């Protein structure tokens, strides 16, 4: 049997922890990192759908995380703008702090 997806409390706690570690990030940006850490989603379109956020807002937050060097793009669909991403080394360091 597979492990259940993280619940809302776990997601919110991870988001709050990331926001505390990196106060320059918006809550949406911290949430994207939390979703990545918890294995909930690794692309912009899925994040937007799961959390009920406009895809354009998620794309802006992803671009900001790229500029902060916390994530790297692994693929981008030119038609839909779906952006797949993973934690960069700097992002992995932030996410590792969640486990501590």
Q: Domain ranges for the chain, please list them.
A: 8-97
User: Buried (b) or exposed (e) across 36-58, using 16+ Cβ within 10 A?
Assistant: bbbebbbbbbbbbeeeebebeeb
- 8-97: CATH topology is Arc Repressor Mutant, subunit A (1.10.10)
pLDDT at site 27: 96
Instruction: Express each pLDDT in 27-64 by its tens digit.
Output: 999 999 999 999 999 999 999 999 999 999 999 999 99
9: buried, middle or exposed (CB in 10 Å: 19+, 13-18, 0-12)? exposed
Distance from chain centroid for Cα 78: 21
Per the CB < 8 A criterion, the answer to whether 27 and 19 are in contact is: yes
Per the CB < 8 A criterion, the answer to whether 51 and 30 are in contact is: no
């Amino acid at each position: 049997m597979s492990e259940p997806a993280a619940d809302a409390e776990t997601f919110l706690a991870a988001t709050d922890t990331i926001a505390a570690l990196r106060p320059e990030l918006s809550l949406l940006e911290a949430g994207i990192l939390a979703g990545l850490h918890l294995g909930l989603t690794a692309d912009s379109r899925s994040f937007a759908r799961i959390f009920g956020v406009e895809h354009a807002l998620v794309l802006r937050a992803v671009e900001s995380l790229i500029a902060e060097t916390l994530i790297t793009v692994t693929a981008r669909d030119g038609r839909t703008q779906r952006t797949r991403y993973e934690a960069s080394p700097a992002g992995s360091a932030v996410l590792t702090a969640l486990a501590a």
